[in-house]
Copies of this chain bind each other. A is one copy, B any other.
Amino acid sequence: MDGMVHVYTGNGKGKTTSAIGLAVRAAGAGLNVYIGQFAKGRKYSELNSLERLDNIDIEQFGRKKFIKNSADKLDIKKAEKGYEKIKNILNSNSYDLVILDEANIAVYFDLFTVDQLIDLIEDRNKKIEVVLTGRMADRKIIEYADLVTEMKEIKHYYNDGITARKGIEN
């Protein structure tokens, strides 16, 4: 059976963590997992744990600081490098599950176009399961995907002035 295309989007918590959880589940079933993170270059705490699991590989294609208003040349260059790398991975037989973390954000900030993202996924080895995360998923991606979950913020303590904490938010 062909692999499915999942999207986790919305303004709520749990998009990247659920992709990480899925990676951990898949690895536990003996599947090989690749995680490519767009627009992120910071060493999040989960990387320390994931490095200890043999069949999960993770690479980052962004800068330490998250893009604020608009991307610059370096942001785009890093994303392009990721795009080419992931194209090879999606055309190989090396992985069963490929997670494109913040792919929606990459499109939102014009690091590449939504059509380029769909081409990337569409031209893959179809056995591969693909997961895309990030807020502001483009309508074309929602239409293209097999499974879409919106993480909807109902209540959030950031709203009360509490800032991100190590091991919980990052």
**Chain A residues with a Cβ under 8 A of chain B:** 1, 4, 6, 8, 10, 12-22, 24-31, 44-50, 52-53, 96-97, 129, 142, 145-157, 160, 162, 165-168, 170
Other-chain contact of A168, B22, B47, B150 (Cβ < 8 Å): B22
Q: Which residue from B28, B30, B31, B168 sits with its C-beta under 8 Å from A25?
A: B168
- Chain B residues whose C-beta falls within 8 Å of the C-beta of A24 in the assembled complex: 17, 20-21, 24, 46, 49-50
A157 lies within 8 A of B167 (CB): no
Most-contacted residue by chain B among A53, A97, A149, A153 (CB, 10 A): A149
Please indicate which of the listed interface residues A18, A47, A150 has the most CB atoms of chain B within 10 Å of its own CB: A18
Contact of A21 among B21, B27, B165 (CB under 8 A): B21
B18/A147 in contact, CB under 8 A: no
Known: A149-B152, A154-B149, A157-B4. A27 touches B49 (CB 8 A): yes
> Given A21-B19, A152-B150, A154-B142, do A28 and B14 touch, yes or no (CB 8 Å)?
no
Q: A147 is contacted by which of B10, B13, B16, B145 (Cβ under 8 Å)?
A: B13
Tell me the bound Cα distance from A154 to B19 in angstroms: 17
Seed contacts A14-B14, A14-B18, A25-B170; 13 additional CB < 8 Å A-B pairs: A6-B13, A14-B149, A14-B151, A17-B24, A18-B21, A18-B151, A19-B21, A20-B24, A20-B25, A28-B45, A29-B166, A96-B167, A147-B156
